[in-house]
Chains A and B, each alone.
Chain A
């Protein structure tokens, strides 16, 4: 059993709280991604789990066993570091065999595991070389290989893709997912890149300033973010936010942002009624804003908004349009054929079926 459990875990460095009262359960075989901006505590969580940092309060369980005072080498975990941390004076083979040798695993078994991992990762030809002779991508595989041969209860990965160039990163993402499937071991993965989180995770845990914001599947986090932070963090480009007052005019609800007024769809009305007359934060993703010129059919609750074009970026398959309306600036992803030029006025359609509303004070999402 290789599930991991954090129970009320807090970590303090002198005066700063890096991780605050974390409660998280990670079932066996899960690919959990810890994501958040720099300084949110995600790497600290990983290091607490590995035993490289000691926690201040709380408990950590690996496979049902309390590991608070257990040193890293006895926790049955393997770690892949951001800088790969390969031993520069040893050959690739020795790098991968090192941990096994320390545990007195018999030579034939070591050989079998090292060659097996090398085959999976496609680095068999490199076994005799030294890390200094390898490229970044190759070194990353060796770091993975070193972890794989240990056959641990869980893999801990600390931003393993950040030092790779963009193309390699995309390629490796897919390979990591496949690897996870193949090995069937728990992966606990840290990154600041929400795209990596969305594409690879079975579940994502979002952290901000040491506090867990939300845990859920990528879809859950995308469609039903708990608060403004998660809503703005997940999804690229980020969600647009507006401050709007809930008004009634006369029987239907509207959101008045000051620059434009949007009719509230019936499904969303119930959650907004308690906020009648008050300000809420209203969010809508760029992909839910269309140009009226090229409006796809089947939009359930369209709402028209006029705005002025500020900057356009042609992405090839779509057009990013940066818009200004009154005191608001927002982004829309529209059909690439759309006629939009900077300074021009343009008509947009918001798909309010996918709108989000948040309490302006607490940041929490309002739910129907």
Chain B
């Protein structure tokens, strides 16, 4: 009575079962693949276009590039890279981004250490206040800071923008680092104190090395944010010779409305560094964001 006649053969070969499983999962795979393709198409289009001569770009869609005759060229990249502007811009982006990443991490690190492991009146309130600053739109700060920088003659200088980016990056950095520091085992720090270590030593020899994941996330985050920034550079760094890539490209967009071939190559070049960084350190980037959002 247990070998009921209408039941499917119990001992299906594993292959048939696997096939059935695949079939039932086909819709899932299809949806994901379609979404991924849709997502990557715009950027892909840009990439292809950057290898096409201006005449082609202006007249036909990028997908036609795959039909004979193939008309690919490296000229766009050559022109863009040859222009002093672009090379200089890349350098400027670097000059702006690196200190703007290193300084906030250090400053935030000190503060986060205090918030995490030191007791003082108003600690929690102050911390919440700092984190609340996350919502302050940069726009609120533009005019006064611009005036301030003008007064100390730092407008259009690199140090000026370093200071600005440091300050803007602090709320998030302090938030992230403090949460991470606070999660470190108390016993570790206590045994260091018992051994006679000072705060400074504990900070650099113990906390910093242990916080590599958080610091890595923060570094990538801050670096990308500064590298990709347009508004802050536009406002505080009004000297064209010091423009980072974002500003230069933005100018290309507005002024070279129809010289799209240069635009494509320029845009792609500006994307190279962030993308490379992202791929290399994807894990940290993601962990950073997640930690920031979920810890709360």
Any A–B CB pair closer than 8 Å:
yes
Q: Which residues of A contact B (CB under 8 A)?
A: 5, 56-59, 61, 64-66, 68-69
Q: Mark B1-13, 1 if CB is under 8 A from A, else 0.
A: 1111001101100
Q: Judging by beta carbons under 8 Å apart, are B14 and A65 in contact?
A: no
Contacts A/B (CB < 8 Å), 10 sampled: A5-B2, A56-B14, A58-B11, A65-B4, A66-B2, A66-B3, A66-B4, A66-B10, A68-B10, A69-B8
Q: Which residue of A lies closest to B17 (CB)?
A: A54
Q: Which residue of B lies closest to A8 (CB)?
A: B11
Complex Cα distance, B2 from A68, in Å, reads 12
Q: Shortest beta-carbon distance, B294 to chain A, in Å? A: 16
Q: Judging by beta carbons under 8 Å apart, are A61 and B2 in contact?
A: yes
Q: Judging by beta carbons under 8 Å apart, are A57 and B11 in contact?
A: yes
Q: Shortest beta-carbon distance, B177 to chain A, in Å? A: 30
Shortest 9 CB-CB contacts between residues of A and residues of B: A59-B10, A66-B7, A61-B2, A64-B2, A68-B10, A64-B1, A66-B10, A66-B4, A66-B2
Complex Cα distance, B1 from A179, in Å, reads 31
Chain A residue numbers with a CB within 8 Å of B7 are 66
Chain B residue numbers with a CB within 8 Å of A65 are 2, 4
Q: Shortest beta-carbon distance, A61 to chain B, in Å? A: 5
Complex Cα distance, B1 from A5, in Å, reads 13
Q: Which residues of B contact A (CB under 8 A)?
A: 1-4, 7-8, 10-11, 14
Q: Shortest beta-carbon distance, B73 to chain A, in Å? A: 50
Most buried by A among B2, B3, B8, B14: B2
Q: Shortest beta-carbon distance, B56 to chain A, in Å? A: 51
Complex Cα distance, B11 from A98, in Å, reads 34
Q: Which residue of A lies closest to B14 (CB)?
A: A56
Sample of 15 further A-B pairs with CB below 8 A, known A56-B14, A64-B1, A66-B10: A5-B2, A57-B11, A58-B11, A59-B10, A59-B11, A61-B2, A64-B2, A65-B2, A65-B4, A66-B2, A66-B3, A66-B4, A66-B7, A68-B10, A69-B8
Most buried by A among B7, B10, B11: B10
Q: Shortest beta-carbon distance, B249 to chain A, in Å? A: 47
Chain A residue numbers with a CB within 8 Å of B2 are 5, 61, 64-66
Q: Which residue of B lies closest to A60 (CB)?
A: B10
Most buried by B among A5, A56, A65, A68: A68
Q: Shortest beta-carbon distance, B245 to chain A, in Å? A: 47
Complex Cα distance, B3 from A68, in Å, reads 12
Q: Shortest beta-carbon distance, B257 to chain A, in Å? A: 53
Complex Cα distance, B14 from A57, in Å, reads 9
Chain B residue numbers with a CB within 8 Å of A61 are 2
Q: Which residue of A lies closest to B11 (CB)?
A: A57
Q: Shortest beta-carbon distance, B7 to chain A, in Å? A: 5
Chain A residue numbers with a CB within 8 Å of B1 are 64
Q: Shortest beta-carbon distance, B6 to chain A, in Å? A: 10
Chain A residue numbers with a CB within 8 Å of B8 are 69
Q: Shortest beta-carbon distance, A136 to chain B, in Å? A: 25
Complex Cα distance, B8 from A69, in Å, reads 9
Chain B residue numbers with a CB within 8 Å of A68 are 10
Complex Cα distance, B2 from A66, in Å, reads 7
Chain B residue numbers with a CB within 8 Å of A59 are 10-11
Q: Shortest beta-carbon distance, A164 to chain B, in Å? A: 28
Complex Cα distance, B4 from A61, in Å, reads 11
Complex Cα distance, B4 from A68, in Å, reads 13
Complex Cα distance, B10 from A56, in Å, reads 11
Complex Cα distance, B8 from A58, in Å, reads 13
Complex Cα distance, B10 from A68, in Å, reads 7
Chain B residue numbers with a CB within 8 Å of A66 are 2-4, 7, 10
Complex Cα distance, B11 from A59, in Å, reads 8
Q: Shortest beta-carbon distance, A52 to chain B, in Å? A: 15
Chain B residue numbers with a CB within 8 Å of A58 are 11
Q: Shortest beta-carbon distance, B15 to chain A, in Å? A: 13
Complex Cα distance, B161 from A81, in Å, reads 57
Q: Shortest beta-carbon distance, A7 to chain B, in Å? A: 8
Complex Cα distance, B11 from A65, in Å, reads 15
Q: Which residue of B lies closest to A68 (CB)?
A: B10
Chain A residue numbers with a CB within 8 Å of B14 are 56
Q: Shortest beta-carbon distance, B80 to chain A, in Å? A: 51
Q: Which residue of A lies closest to B8 (CB)?
A: A69
Q: Shortest beta-carbon distance, B8 to chain A, in Å? A: 7
Complex Cα distance, B87 from A269, in Å, reads 97
Complex Cα distance, B3 from A5, in Å, reads 12
Q: Which residue of A lies closest to B21 (CB)?
A: A54
Chain A residue numbers with a CB within 8 Å of B11 are 57-59
Chain A residue numbers with a CB within 8 Å of B10 are 59, 66, 68
Q: Shortest beta-carbon distance, A57 to chain B, in Å? A: 7
Q: Which residue of A lies closest to B20 (CB)?
A: A69
Complex Cα distance, B8 from A174, in Å, reads 43
Q: Which residue of A lies closest to B1 (CB)?
A: A64
Complex Cα distance, B3 from A49, in Å, reads 18
Complex Cα distance, B2 from A58, in Å, reads 13
Q: Shortest beta-carbon distance, B41 to chain A, in Å? A: 37
Complex Cα distance, B4 from A65, in Å, reads 8
Q: Which residue of B lies closest to A5 (CB)?
A: B2
Q: Which residue of B lies closest to A12 (CB)?
A: B14
Complex Cα distance, B3 from A104, in Å, reads 31
Q: Shortest beta-carbon distance, A66 to chain B, in Å? A: 5
Chain A residue numbers with a CB within 8 Å of B3 are 66
Q: Shortest beta-carbon distance, A27 to chain B, in Å? A: 14
Complex Cα distance, B11 from A69, in Å, reads 11
Q: Shortest beta-carbon distance, A358 to chain B, in Å? A: 36
Complex Cα distance, B245 from A320, in Å, reads 80
Complex Cα distance, B83 from A330, in Å, reads 87
Complex Cα distance, B7 from A64, in Å, reads 12
Complex Cα distance, B5 from A66, in Å, reads 11
Complex Cα distance, B10 from A69, in Å, reads 9
Complex Cα distance, B11 from A61, in Å, reads 13
